[in-house]
Amino acid sequence: MRGFIFFLLLIGLVLPLSSWAQGWTAHLSAHNYLPSFFAVDKSLQQAYLVNSQDPDHPLSPWRTLICSTGQKDGDKVKKGDLKTPEGVYFIVDKINSGLDFFEYGNTAFPLNYPNPVDRVRNKTGSGIWIHGRGIPLTPKMTRGCISLHNAEVDHLDDHVFLHTTPIIISQNLVCSNATPSRAVAEIAAGTRAWAQAWNQGKNFLTRLYDPQRFLLSSGQHVDTYLQQELDQKKAHSTWIDLRVRDLHIVEGPEYMVSAFIQHTMPMDVSGYRRLYWMQKEKHWVIVGEEWVPQGQDSQDVYMPSYKEMVEQEIQDTLRQAEQWWAEKKLHHIMRIYAQGAVRGADTGKKAITQRLQQEMAATANPFAGAMTLEITSQGIAVLQTKAQGPARKFLFHPGPQNTWKILAEDVHP
């Protein structure tokens, strides 16, 4: 802990390093999307467990561990260079049997090196683990892994979780109460745009990717990949509602990672998604991604009842429209109609606006009534019944940020 605190005192003296070969200095500060994490400072040969619960307070480790890293300084570039990679990583497995005790101790946690950005940068090698050791630790004794005392690594997964806890490895680690970089907000907005784009179509998705670097990270052409994903997601329905939960954002050396729980409906698929972002002409673009489906060496992903959640969201939407109708706020009401919506014989927002303007003076509120809901391959079908007057049927499709848009509306026969 003393070394960590002492290093914080030197924050004003730290200068940016000119290349990755010299090592990356990770500048970390609390923000709303930063989860608890495990960090390694190679210069001090120390690792830290850091809670990130309050973005208004500086980060501080609640536990400091002695570690040993690669025999050579600098960021790992190629297989056999005896260097520990620097960046943002995640644990992908736990191994606690069949290990060479002298080399690895009782337990090992493989990391996802090389990650997509490493592949973009043409880094080679593999088999980077956090593991124990059968002999006493000395500084810089590994071939690139991170070695801890056996007693520490044997219980590491009490605090560091498979696929979700970021492992931040740097030559130097600086934690401060500095204002988070603008990139954090930009990546949060970009991730939300990515989720929304799945229901808008491939053209909207493609804009968020860097084709050249995606090819390097995945071996796939981004157009082919996205079309395959869309075909799979829309195999049994015309719509996609992709939900992002527990969004985390972590900064690496000239890249960002957004990691979250992804729920895709109505196909009912859940898992962990990680998007890797780099800058292109001053804009953040996706250069690679990772997907861990639920049940594939992952913790169970909790998803509340989708029908109940959607029912509440659409009910709130119709109640708001009912209020706007009473207040004659037609321009507000039009926000909940999709651009190409069909309402009876009228198609498009312009025609619907004109029709509603005529009806507003003489017609009972069309958004009032009791609601029943059904999830269909065409969208969310809603039947609204009234004590007096005809029932109305609506077809909703997902809008931005968990909102809903009316795609079709008509009088129920």
Is CATH 3.90.1150.10 the classification given to domain 182-293? no
Q: 270 by DSSP, 3-state: which?
A: strand
Q: Residue 6: is its pLDDT beyond 70? A: no
pLDDT band at 347 (very low <50, low <70, confident <90, very high): very high
CATH 2.40.440.10 in the chain, residues? 2-176
Could you count the other beta carbons within 10 Å of the beta carbon of residue 88? 24
DSSP one-letter string for 298-336: S-------HHHHHHHHHHHHHHHHHHHHHTT-HHHHGGG
Q: Residue 251: is its pLDDT beyond 50? A: yes
pLDDT value, residue 303: 65
Is CATH 3.40.50.300 the classification given to domain 2-176? no
* Mean of all residue pLDDT scores within the chain: 91
Q: Are strands 172-176 and 108-110 parallel, antiparallel or unpaired?
A: unpaired
pLDDT value, residue 60: 84
What is the average pLDDT across 170-179? 90
Q: How many residues does the chain have?
A: 413
User: Does a cis peptide bond (omega within 30 degrees of 0) precede residue 58?
Assistant: no
The fraction of the chain above a pLDDT of 70, given in percent, is: 92
pLDDT value, residue 15: 34
State phi, psi for 38 to the nearest 5 degrees.
-110, 125
pLDDT in tens, 7-46: 333 333 333 333 555 789 999 999 999 999 999 999 999 9
pLDDT band at 178 (very low <50, low <70, confident <90, very high): confident
What is the average pLDDT across 351-380? 93
pLDDT value, residue 13: 31
pLDDT band at 340 (very low <50, low <70, confident <90, very high): very high
pLDDT value, residue 16: 38
CATH number of 306-411: 3.10.450.50
pLDDT value, residue 302: 64
Please enumerate, as own/partner, the contacts of 205-212 that have beta carbons within 8 Å and a separation of 24 or more.
205/230, 208/285, 208/286, 209/285, 209/286, 209/287, 210/278, 210/280, 210/285, 210/286, 210/287
DSSP one-letter string for 28-78: EE--TT---EEEEETTTTEEEEEE---TTS--EEEEEEEEE-BSB-S---S
What is the average pLDDT across 232-248? 94
CATH 3.10.450.50 in the chain, residues? 182-293, 306-411
Q: Residue 363: is its pLDDT beyond 90? A: no
Q: Are strands 87-89 and 146-148 parallel, antiparallel or unpaired?
A: unpaired
pLDDT in tens, 48-57: 999 987 777 7
Q: Cα torsion at 72, 62, 34, 243 (round to 10°)?
A: 110
pLDDT value, residue 299: 59
State phi, psi for 345 to the nearest 5 degrees.
-90, 0
The fraction of the chain above a pLDDT of 90, given in percent, is: 82
pLDDT in tens, 118-147: 999 999 999 999 999 999 999 999 999 999
Q: Residue 221: is its pLDDT beyond 50? A: yes
